[in-house]
Structure 1
């Protein structure tokens, strides 16, 4: 049985509980994610930030002839 079919077979109250739980999990992650990262030692160093900057795409504006 697929995950979607299993979800659609759940009662409406259970679907609501699952949805609220997922939203709460996301909000907790957004709220406390940075604090937990710093406590676990996962904060990026300046070298990591520079390496990421090199990988980011660059946008060059080209004048259009009218």
Structure 2
């Protein structure tokens, strides 16, 4: 049985619980990922940031349109 068919066979309350759980998971992920990165030491150092390529923004000339 496919995942979609299993979902369709759930009761309305269970579908609401699954949807609320997915929304909560998606909303808290960006907030918790930064804190977990700090806790496990995955934040970039200044040397890592300096090794990134430099990005130069060139202004667009709109007068040639």
Instruction: Provide TM-score, normalisation by structure 2.
Output: 0.65
Larger radius of gyration: 2
Partner of 2:41: 41
Name 2:22's counterpart in structure 1: 22
- Report how far residue 40 of structure 1 moved: 0.7
Measured in 2, the distance between the counterparts of 1:9 and 1:49 equals: 50
Instruction: Structure 1 unaligned segments of length 5 or more: list them.
Output: 55-60
2:12 aligns to what? 12
Runs of 4 or more above 4 Å deviation: 46-51
Normalised TM-score (structure 1): 0.64
Cα-Cα RMSD: 2.7
Q: How many angstroms does 1:44 deviate by?
A: 2.8
Equivalent residues, number: 63
Task: Give ranges in structure 2 of 5+ residues lacking alignment.
Answer: 54-59
